[in-house]
Amino acid sequence: MDSRIVALLQKRDERALYEIQEEYGRLCYKMAYNILGNREDADECINDMLLAIWNSTTVLDPNGLRAYLVALTRHIAMDKVKTQNRQKRGGSQLTLVLDELAEILPSHDTVEQQVDVHELTEIITKWIRELSPEVQRVFVLRYFMSESIQSIARKSDMSESAVKMILHRTRKKLKKYLKKENLL
């Protein structure tokens, strides 16, 4: 399916957008909604993602299409939250998630550091794959899908305190790993 979508995009066939919406729309919408907390903003985020993918000149790998679409949607949603927070200085689930990771992940204030974000993402993804399935699920739900602690606890059939403990220990392990890789 992903090969078909990429081929349609390369041909500039608008059916590609329909296929993306059918295959990945729900996943991307859910993530955008978790970050933004608003249906209209999540819908707008999905539309922005579809426009961005349509206007993209990036050659897409069919094996990485899902990850690319999720990352693109997440980036668009996070930008929207930053804009909203600048306007009203309110809090959000994303703000809580970013605060939890702030002590671990390096800042991306310079252009050189922004270029290294791709490398950092690959290293963290490799590290996540080495986690147990339970810990991996909790970590991804919190830090990639921006799920609340309560939601993760329900989905994982554990207490909120167990989820918090897993996240705390996993952040410590990530920090240690990033130091070992000379990224902190």
110: confidence class by pLDDT, cuts 50, 70, 90: very low
Q: So what's the pLDDT on residue 56?
A: 80
Residue 105 gets which letter from DSSP? S
Q: So what's the pLDDT on residue 153?
A: 94
Q: So what's the pLDDT on residue 36?
A: 85
Which domains are seen in the chain, by residue range? Answer: 1-88 (1.10.1740.10), 92-184 (1.10.10.10)
Give the mean model confidence (pLDDT) for residues 77-102.
62
Q: What is the pTM of this model?
A: 0.56
Write out pLDDT tens, residues 130-181: 999 999 889 888 877 778 899 999 999 999 999 999 999 999 998 888 888 7
Lowest mean pLDDT among 10-24, 30-44, 99-113, 142-156: 99-113
What residues contact residue 181 under an 8 Å CB cut-off, 6+ apart?
123
HSE-CB at 49 with a 13 A cutoff on CA atoms is: 34
Q: So what's the pLDDT on residue 16?
A: 92
Q: Shortest CA distance to 47 belongs to which of 28, 62, 31? A: 28
Lowest mean pLDDT among 29-43, 93-107, 154-168: 93-107
* pLDDT beyond 50 at 115: no
Give the mean model confidence (pLDDT) for residues 78-104.
61
Q: So what's the pLDDT on residue 5?
A: 92
User: Which residue carries 């600048």 as its tokens?
Assistant: 86
Give the mean model confidence (pLDDT) for residues 31-40.
88
| Spatial distance between the Cα atoms of 7 and 46, rounded to a whole number of angstroms | 21
| Spatial distance between the Cα atoms of 54 and 104, rounded to a whole number of angstroms | 34
Highest mean pLDDT among 105-109, 117-121, 122-126, 158-162: 158-162
